[in-house]
Amino acid sequence: MKIYQQQILFSIFITILFLSSCSEVELSRDYEQTGFDYPNTIKSDVIDEYFDTLVADPYRWLEDDTSDETGEWVVAQNKVTQNYLSVIPYREKIRDRIKKLWDYEKVGAPFKEGEYTYFYRNEGLQNQYVLYRTSKEGETEVFLDPNTFSEDGTTSLSSIGFSQDGSLAAYSISEAGSDWRKIIVIDAVTRETIEEPIVDVKFSGIAWKGQEGFYYSSYDKPQGSELSSKTDQHKLYFHQIGTPQKEDKVIFGAIDEQKRRYVGGSITEDGRYLIISGAISTSGNDLYLKDLSEPNSPLLTILDDTDSEAYVIDSVGAKLYIVTDRDAPNQKIVTVDASDPRPENWKDFIPETENVLLPSTGGGYFFVEYMIDALSKVYQYDYSGNRLREIILPGSGSVGSISGKRKAEKLYYSFSNYNTPSTIYELDLESNKSKVYRESGVDFDSDHYVSKQVFYSSKDGTRIPMMITHKKGLILDGKNPTMLYGYGGFNISITPSFSTTNAFWLEQGGIYAVPNLRGGGEYGKRWHDAGTQLNKQNVFDDFISAAEYLIKSGYTSSDYLAVNGRSNGGLLVGAVLTQRPDLMRVALPGVGVLDMLRYHTFTAGAGWAYDYGTAEQSREMFAYLQAYSPVHNVRRQGYPATMVTTGDHDDRVVPAHSFKFAAHLQDKNTSQSPMLIRIETDAGHGAGTPASKIIEQYADKFGFTLFNMGFNELPYQYGEN
C-alpha cells in the first residue's frame, strides 16, 4: 500500500502541524519540569599541569574501563536514558517504520576470484551481509554467513582477501565492534578452515603472495586495557601458510626502525611488487617497494618522508603508476620505473587540475573521478594517458569507484545522492554503455523530494557548499525540523549518499542539511589543512555559519534545529554545543573525540596529531586545544537537549571521551533540558554494528530529537491518505 501523502497534502499537513507547535512544545516540556535523577558521578582531585597551567580532570576515573565503578556508572546512566526514552509516545512507531524501510533485499556488485563470482547479499533485516558465490555452471551458494558467527549478530565480517588463483582465502572478523580482529584462513573451494586463526590484528589489510601466505599489519598487544591502552608501533608481518603465528616474520616496522603508527602492505595485481606504506599520522606517508620476482631483492625507497601522500595504484611490467599530492594538492598520477622510483624520476601521467582527482582502475583502463563542489564527474583514460570519454552519470551525486581486475570485460559502480537510493550500474567495456544492474528496493519515492546545493559565507568569508534535502512544497516558515550533519576533518570528503534511516526523517517533513566544512578533502589538501591544528576553529565556524544560513533563510529556527555528527563530527557537535548553546534545540554528539588534552594517550589516538596537534606540542597549541575542547568548556549555563552516544567496546575513540563530557553536562547544565548518554553494549565505533542495533539507535535518536522539538505525535502518521 502506498504510504506517502498526496503531494497536494504535504503543505497542508505541515501547516496544521506547526500552527499547533507552540502548545506541543509546552506539553512535551512538562516532562522536563520533573527534572532528572542523574547517577551520582563522583569527582576526584586529579589535576594536570601544562606549561604552568593547572587543569582539573575530576572524572579521570571514568577512563578506567576495567573498573567495577565505571561499569556500574554505565548501567546507571543507561537506565536513566532508557527511562526517558520510554516516555516518548511514538518511539515504537519510529522503530517500526525504520525497520520497514530497512527490510528490502540488498545485493552488492559481483566480483570474480578464481573460478567463482562472489557477491554480498542481505535478505532485508539480517544483522550482517552474507557472502555468496556462483560457479561457472551457474550454481549459487552461501560462502560465508557472518550471522552464524555469534548468536546476537555482533560478530561481523570485516574484510576478505583471496590468493592469486582464488584457491585460498583469509577473512577477518570483528567481535562486539572492536578494531582488534582475528584472521581465519580457509580453503576457498571447500570452505574448510585450514589452520589456527591469526589473532590480535588491528588496522590491517590482507595481501596474498601467490598461494604461499599473506601480509598483514598489527600492533603489539597492549599490557593494560585492550580497549584504551596506547598502540603506536604498527608492524607489517608475513604469515606463511601452514606455520604458527608465532613464527610470522616482521617485514617492516621493527623496534629499531623509525616508529610508525600506521603501516600497510599491498601486492600489485600481477603479484610482482610488494608495496609498503608507513605513516606517523593520518596525513602523509613514506613509501617502499620490494620486487617479489627476485629472491632476496632489496627494499627500495619511493618516498623517504611523510610530507605528502602517495600510493601505487597499478603497475605494468616495471612501470609504476603512483597517485600523489606531492607538489599537487588536488592529486595527480605519475609514472616511474620500479628500478629507481624516487620522486626526481617521476613523470606526470594525468596532471593535477583545479578539481580533486580520485582514480581507480579496471578492465585495462583508468577511471578518474573529479570532485566538483563535492559532486562526481568521471572520465575514462587509457594506459597512455589519453582521455577517452566521460562516463555519463544519471544525475548530480556520488559515484562509487569504477574498479575491477585488468581482464574484466564488465565493471560495476554505484550512484546515489541524498534523495536517490543507491543503484548499481554495469559498464560494458566493449560497447562503453552503462545499464542498471541492481535498483534499490527501499520503500521511498524520490519524486516527492528535492536535494539542492547552496553556497554560504563562513565567518571569515570563505565560500562553503551545502546540500539541503527535503520534501517538495516546503514552507519556509522557520518551523521545519532540521538535522544539520557535519564532519570536517581528516581529509574525508562528505559527498551525497542515500541513507535508509534518514529516509524516515525526510518522510516526517524534516530537512537534512550537510555542509562541506573545511578540514575535509572536498577541495584538496589546502581545504584539509585549513581545518587542522591552529585552524580547527574554522571547522566550527563553518558549521555555525551553516546553521545561521538555514535560520536566516527560513528553513528552520533554533527551536527546530538539531546538530549531529560522529567521531571527528562528534567533536564538531561538542565544540559547537559549548560555544553556541543558543543555536540549536538538540545536540547529538556520537562517539566523539571530546577530551582534546588527552585524546592522544588512548589507543591509536596519537596518530591524529596532524589534524589536532597535541597539548604537549607547544604552549600555543595547548592553549588553542583547551579553548575549544568540549570536556573543558562546559560552563554552568543552560544547554539544549543533548544525547551523547557511544559504544562500550569502542577502541578507536574510547568511550571515556563521552563519559566525561556527559558527566560535565549533567553537573553544570542549568536548563530543564535532558543531558543524557546512550551507551550501546557490545558495540564499537560503528563498523560491523548489527542492523537490529542500528535500527534501535536511530529510532532513539529521531525520537529524542522530535520529542525535544515539541512534537507529541509524529508529524506524518503512516497509513493516512
Q: Does domain 7-100+444-708 have CATH number 3.40.50.1820?
A: yes
Taking alpha carbons only, the member of 650, 655, 682 closest to residue 150 is: 682
pLDDT score, position 669 = 97
Q: Which pLDDT value is given to residue 603? A: 86
All 3 cell numbers of residue 177? Answer: 565492534
Specify which residues 575 forms β-bridges with: none
Chain center to CA of 288: 28
Q: Is the pLDDT of residue 426 over 90?
A: yes
pLDDT-based confidence at residue 28 (cuts at 50, 70, 90): very low
pLDDT at 431 over 60: yes
Identify which of 598, 649, 520 has the alpha carbon closest to the alpha carbon of residue 227. Answer: 649
Q: Judging by beta carbons within 10 Å of its beta carbon (0-12, 13-18, 19+), is residue 385 exposed, middle or buried? A: middle
Task: Please report which confidence band the pLDDT of residue 193 belongs to, taking 50, 70 and 90 as the band edges.
Answer: very high
Please check whether residue 701 is in contact with residue 707, taking contact to mean a CB–CB distance below 8 angstroms. Answer: no
Task: Taking residues 488-514, report their average pLDDT.
Answer: 97
Burial of 258 (0-12, 13-18, 19+ CB in 10 A): exposed
| pLDDT score at 88 | 96
Is residue 108 over pLDDT 50?
yes
Of the pLDDT bands very low, low, confident and very high (cuts 50, 70, 90), residue 227 is low
User: Confidence band (pLDDT; 50, 70, 90) for 5?
Assistant: very low
- The mean of the pLDDT values for the chain is 91
Q: Can you tell me the distance from the alpha carbon of 314 to that of 300, in angstroms, rounded to the nearest whole number? A: 17
Span 224-250, mean pLDDT? Answer: 86
Our measurement of the distance from residue 701's CA atom to the centroid of its chain's CA atoms, rounded to an integer in Å, reads 18
- Asked if 468 and 513 touch (Cβ cutoff 8 Å), the reply is yes
Average pLDDT over residues 464-489: 97
> For position 594, what pLDDT does the model report?
98
| 402: confidence class by pLDDT, cuts 50, 70, 90 | very high
Query: For the segment 278-322, what is each residue's pLDDT rounded down to a tens digit?
Result: 999 889 999 999 999 998 999 999 999 999 999 999 999 999 999
Adjacent-strand bridge partners of 240: 213
* pLDDT (0 to 100) of residue 9: 26
Strand segments (E) across 429-462 = 433-438, 449-457
First-to-last alpha carbon distance for the chain, in angstroms, is: 10
pLDDT of residue 226: 64
Nearest-angstrom CA–CA distance, 399 and 397: 7
What is the DSSP secondary structure assignment for residue 463, as one 8-state letter? E
Exposure pattern of 70-100 as b/e (b: 16+ CB <10 Å)? beebbeebbebbeebbeebebbebbbebbbb
Cα–Cα nearest to 456, from 397, 515, 379: 515
For residues 429 and 410, give the distance between their C-alpha atoms in angstroms, rounded to a whole number.
6
- Is the separation of the CB atoms in 558 and 630 below 8 Å? no
29-36: average pLDDT: 44
Asked if residue 10 has pLDDT above 50, the reply is no
Cα(276)–Cα(287) distance, integer angstroms: 6
Extended beta strands in 224-285, E state? 234-240, 249-252, 262-267, 273-279
Q: What is the pLDDT of residue 191?
A: 96
Whether the predicted pLDDT of 19 surpasses 80? no
Q: How confident is the model at residue 208 (pLDDT cuts 50, 70, 90)?
A: very high
Local confidence band at 225 (pLDDT 50, 70, 90 cut-offs): low
For 315, the enclosing helix (H) or strand (E) is strand 310-316
- According to CATH, the superfamily of the domain at 106-267 is Prolyl oligopeptidase, N-terminal domain (2.130.10.120)
The yes-or-no verdict on residue 190 having pLDDT over 80 is yes
The strand pair at 140-144 and 130-134 is best described as antiparallel
Tell whether the model's pLDDT for residue 53 goes beyond 90. yes
**pLDDT for position 450:** 98
449-457/47-50 β-pairing: unpaired
The model's pLDDT over 337-349, given as tens digits with 9 standing for 90+, comes to 999 999 999 999 9
Residues forming the active site: 567, 685
Q: What is the pLDDT of residue 79?
A: 95
pLDDT greater than 60 at residue 334: yes
pLDDT digit string, tens, across residues 556-614? 999 999 999 999 999 999 999 999 999 999 999 999 999 999 999 998 888 999 999 99
Three-state secondary structure string covering 141-203: EEEECHHHCCCCCCEEEEEEEECCCCCEEEEEEEECCCCEEEEEEEECCCCCECCCCEEEEEC
- Which pLDDT score, from 0 to 100, does residue 653 have? 84
Better pLDDT: 137 or 219: 137
Does 536 have pLDDT greater than 50? Answer: yes
